[in-house]
Structure 1
């Protein structure tokens, strides 16, 4: 397998998105779009599938996570190939955990065949993840579920599909979502009217919002932690040692106003900086 495309976080990394491309694509096909919408504290990993023959395409060799034998939802599937690809994804998750990112701060995502792999990998991983973004895809080896699920039923899943998809029929996405909802508690299925087998600005905006929602605690906590030194500087500059307890009511109010101003200035700078990094 080729080396993954990695987009590093622009501030201290506290979360990771691992996103798998579709059949015949590479990690480069999604890295720029995802870099533009991820939070600044999120590292993006876009691996490239190994090149192998694909039965559906007359044995032609191309990047593929596993062999595709048919587009019939009830047709034969490449179970060994799917499980091997799943093991590779689990290895990437474990590498991030070893680097200090907990499983519940790791988002799996993918488009088409990559989205199918993301779903299967998340459901069969033994620790709860931050969530799964599954675009224009299906649940592979669906007859194994819910029995094959080893993960928590609380892991959020955002599944999106265009209703004009000629490659992975919209009905496949609907059926997969219905099955997922039967044993997972937090499944969202969103339809994009007129969208074919591709993404759109509206869909990417929704992906941006959902991964920010799943990881927003960290950005808020990071802001609170970073705010503390600013307040300490403001308070120490506003009163001499021991004078705090002796301050008059007016001085205390002045001190509070100073701290509040410092706090507001910090948040103003923080959000401007964040916008610049993302946009």
Structure 2
């Protein structure tokens, strides 16, 4: 099941940008480490479709090991930014359950899973990938920006069986935080988990660990394709 008794954030812990007309689809977008849902609202509003609502949850503040245990908004603890770094397995799984609970909430309110795109940037993109691949529902798609696949060694056994979920993975070519090589390794791993034709991996020259208008244009095109007006 997607939901269980773990602590689940209320939807008041999110910024929601409503559609301009009847909402028949939703994009749940997860911010990066140290940010909040507010950090992405303006960028997402620029690419919003009238029938799609955007939900930008806020991560709770927790001590983050890689930042000398400083308290900051984080979906789970980070011990290091390296494919071989130890990972916060319990924290990642708990965070995924919390995001699945938001998906369930939308489903109960009439937006079916195949009309929900899950996305995120950096740590949020990592969590969106892990959540979509382990969720009982097949979602409309995943937008994974400047990120990696958490607990990558637990796949393919952790996979919920949705091999046809479309994934748009984007990465800046001069990203010093999550190097492009990690993005490429992630794409290679994802190719072995989902049908290869469902994965699009785009890289952007001169883009550091952030976003750019060309990348957001690609995100908009992806949303238009997989969340068309009904």
TM-score surpassing 0.5?
yes
Q: Which residue pairs with 1:135 in the alignment?
A: 145
Q: Are 1:181 and 2:191 an aligned pair?
A: yes
Contiguous gaps of at least 5 residues in structure 2: 1-8
The match for 2:29 among 19, 24, 27 is 19
How far does residue 39 in structure 1 lie from its aligned partner after superposition? 1.1
Give the CA RMSD over aligned residues. 0.9
- Tell me the equivalent position of 2:78: 68
Matched, 1:124 2:134: yes
**Match of 2:29, SS?**
strand
Shift of 1:151: 3.9
Tell me the residue number matched to 1:203: 215
Pairing 1:108-123 to 2, within 5 Å after superposition = 108-123=118-133
Structure 2 equivalent of residue 145 of structure 1: 155
Q: Secondary structure at the match of 2:147?
A: coil
Q: 1:158 aligns with which of 164, 168, 178?
A: 168
**Paired residue for 1:262?**
none
Greater share of residues in strand: 2
Distance in 2, Cα, partners of 1:151 & 1:205:
30
SS state at 1:37 partner: coil
Q: How far 1:107 sits from its partner (Å)?
A: 0.3
TM-score normalised by L of structure 1 = 0.77
Aligned match of 2:3: none
- Aligned partners of 2:82 and 2:167: how far apart in 1? 24
Following the alignment from structure 1 to structure 2, what is the Cα–Cα distance between the partners of residues 91 and 156? Answer: 21
Q: Is 1:192 aligned with 2:218?
A: no
Deviation at 1:64, TM superposition (A): 0.3
Structure 1 residue aligned with 2:68: 58
Q: TM-score, normalised by structure 2?
A: 0.93
2:27 aligned counterpart, secondary structure: strand
Cα displacement (A) at 1:9: 1.2
Partner of 1:90: 100
- Contact 1:127–1:151 (CA under 8 A) maintained in structure 2: no
Q: Distance in 1 between matches of 2:55 and 2:169?
A: 20
Q: Larger Rg: 1 or 2?
A: 1
Aligned residues: 218
1:101 aligned to 2:126? no
User: Structure 1: 5+ residue runs without aligned partners?
Assistant: 222-279
